Structure 1
């Protein structure tokens, strides 16, 4: 399925630039080990706010990708934190962190190549 690229809006940030900013904010929150966790929250909020503007374009898939990565990653990190009481949470926490980093890298690389994150298989 071919995705339609929306014409760029000359009155502000283009959807492509905004998507790069969202990936950058998410990555900043991860790199800072939660110290700048608000950057990750800001990335998800922007993704939710701009998802309807990007509907039917390549960028809608990226916003959905970021939102799903956040919620699934949060779920697995919380479950891993609970599992630290039985000493397996450290392992599952590291797996969850690696999975989140993989998802952000895969999505961002797909954006650089002009594809949807789901298109890279």
Structure 2
């Protein structure tokens, strides 16, 4: 069961940065992944500077989501190269999973719970 997280004193800017990062990950498909890579870099930088365990968990969640997505895209890429329809289906499933994870994490951050 998810327990509410008591965040340290955070400014509105700290929360805004997290919302922007979740937003960038969520709409990354519009930029063919470029926004996700930029958000990933910022996630690594911010996670290293962060003291709040809740914020660290959300940064780690976004990082893990990105790398698992890359893993599944690479793993299913032979399907896409050899058989277009099964490959498209596999990449669609991976893309929907990525979108689900981004939205789920974003909602949990908004509600003040861990991912």
Q: Aligning the two structures, in what range does the TM-score lie when normalised by the shorter sequence?
A: 0.7 to 0.9
Q: How much is the aligned-residue C-alpha RMSD, in angstroms?
A: 2.0
**Count of aligned positions:** 111
Q: 2:89 aligns with which of 85, 88, 91?
A: 91
Whether contact under 8 Å (2:24, 2:39) holds in the other structure is yes
1:2: how far off? 6.3
Q: TM-score, structure 1 length as denominator?
A: 0.79
Partner of 2:64: 68
1:97: how far off? 0.7
Gaps of at least 5 residues in structure 1 are none
SS in structure 2 of the partner of residue 51 of structure 1: helix
Whether contact under 8 Å (1:3, 1:56) holds in the other structure is no
SS in structure 2 of the partner of residue 83 of structure 1: helix
Q: Deviations over 1:41-78 (max 9, x none)?
A: 11100100011232442111110110001000011112
1:4: how far off? 4.2
Matched, 1:116 2:114: yes
SS in structure 1 of the partner of residue 27 of structure 2: helix
Q: TM-score, structure 2 length as denominator?
A: 0.83
Moved >6 Å (runs of 4+): none
1:94: how far off? 1.3
Q: Deviations over 1:12-66 (max 9, x none)?
A: x632211111011112212x151xx321111100100011232442111110110
